[in-house]
Structure 1
């Protein structure tokens, strides 16, 4: 009886030890963006008790949120802890950068004066992969995100298929569908100040359809794709067109349509599947 009571007394400690940790107000200096940049990070339950290195998921927030979006509204800690505990996801580190300070978005601007994408690859990734025990091989790196961050997931994996094993755009902004759409978008943001050549280059760099069209044949299987969109989402058309373009190009991918709209309820429900999908990518086939 005493032994049973002792074990019961230890149970809260055991359960506590099974929780990961989230830090949502970290920062480091960026030369490219000329200032400190914030990020949040999830560390898996056994991070402090082990010496191993972990795969990494870069999880990108949507427009209007910052590095705390997936922490506060997406419940990333509880959802990831549960997926790991149930064996549906492998222990991983999740990095959530802030793309809402200075200028909003994950792209370099038209004139390459605000270079967020360069910051991501040249400063953020090297910094976190040096600071934390992160495996640095492509096979242990994935990117996912919602809405604006879904667009970032698309473009980052399409620009750098050599760096990511998997990409999971959720309810993604798929970029301008035409060059005229690009001009209208830039004018709306008071950013139509590039030359015609610069605007066309921006369009080809940020349009997911254009990037898919330009994909070399030997890159078709470089990244495992999971694309998810709600049937009531206002971004449904762009995602459907991307799915059709990938089918025509014979690019393997998963395309899922579920009941729902452009909401955190939808994205919280989608996250466990994303964690399972990227975990499969981190394993040997």
Structure 2
């Protein structure tokens, strides 16, 4: 019996050693024959490569291309031996998303480990060179902390997760900081601004350049029927919905006082109106304009990034039912900045135009920034870099 056991153990240990050797050989082989994708050139032309020897057709699907579907435009790759390749035109300075289409199957680039989730889709990403993209890179500068916290919402009768950025040195200092409340769009969650919006990179880099004041940035989950981002709550790994039943009910706006209460109890923040800002994109822009008017004497700085001005609204909610009166109160109470950003090709352009006319009619002052492009993270990251230096 002992002889048999010894033989088995010897066989297994030998197999294990062989497996390790093979793994090491594979690593060495991959290093020697490594193919890069994507490869960003000095002129911001980007080359993509895919190993697909048996594929009949391979395409790059990128968000910088003219959109022909829900994902983006497509460009055919050219086969050379076992690999397919495509080189883009020179791209602007920014962060870009893409997938690979292999014979109709949309997949992530096997050669690119860097991925981002946007609602229910995952994309590879890359950054080009240039000043704007440098804002989104991790630079050799002092870094703030990005933490996920749970807070209790008495209004919603549930615990919810929130993401909070604190500036470099917060843990060691005793000073109090101003706060920006930053809200995501429909389908997003408390992970959207940190990942797609590059919040910590933007804040760290602008702080190091001396272009903004140190601040805390609070990023809640705007879909109040979810406690947290997908897979991060007891709800489990559920199918991700773009629009949840709470959209347009006013529940996010009505419960926002719970977010304020948690932050002001648990963080060293300045609690006066002059030290509070709120901004949001798309649905979060709608949340921002209604929250800032509903809590009319709370925020001195308001930012509407491609805001959805006409969400479906529950007329029974005081957030919507009394909006005109609340807006007049907000104007009367005064504020330092009411900032509106909108892309020329945004599908919400006309509603934004109508909302500005509404503000003009009551002589409510605002700053308007019109950019190229549409309803995109490229614009929302840009707006954040321009909005932050105007705060506090």
Length-normalised TM-score, structure 2: 0.56
State the shift of 1:241 in Å.
1.1
State the shift of 1:238 in Å.
1.2
| Paired position in structure 2 for 1:109 | 249
Moved more, 83-92 or 162-171: 83-92
Take 1:217 and 1:102, find their aligned partners in 2: how far apart are those partners? 28
Q: Highest relative contact order (Cα 8 Å, sep 6+), 1 or 2?
A: 1
Aligned mate of 1:37, from 160, 168, 178: 160
Take 1:211 and 1:135, find their aligned partners in 2: how far apart are those partners? 29
| Paired position in structure 2 for 1:128 | 263
CA spacing shift, 1:108–1:117, aligned 2, 3 Å: farther
SS of 2:328's equivalent in the other structure is coil
Residues 114-140 of structure 1, C-alpha deviation per residue, up to 9 Å, x if partnerless?
x3333211x211111110111111110
Take 1:168 and 1:214, find their aligned partners in 2: how far apart are those partners? 15
State the shift of 1:17 in Å.
6.8
Matched, 1:159 2:294: yes
State the shift of 1:46 in Å.
2.1
Query: What is the number of residues matched between the two proteins?
Result: 237
Q: Which runs of 5+ in 1 are unaligned?
A: 1-14, 177-184, 187-198
CA spacing shift, 1:64–1:249, aligned 2, 3 Å: same
CA spacing shift, 1:118–1:206, aligned 2, 3 Å: closer
CA spacing shift, 1:221–1:239, aligned 2, 3 Å: same
| Paired position in structure 2 for 1:69 | 192
Larger Rg: 2
Take 1:79 and 1:106, find their aligned partners in 2: how far apart are those partners? 31
Take 1:212 and 1:233, find their aligned partners in 2: how far apart are those partners? 29
Residues 167-224 of structure 1, C-alpha deviation per residue, up to 9 Å, x if partnerless?
0010001125xxxxxxxx47xxxxxxxxxxxx5444x84389x537961596173352
The answer to whether the 8 Å contact 1:228/1:256 transfers is yes
State the shift of 1:28 in Å.
1.9
Higher strand share: 2
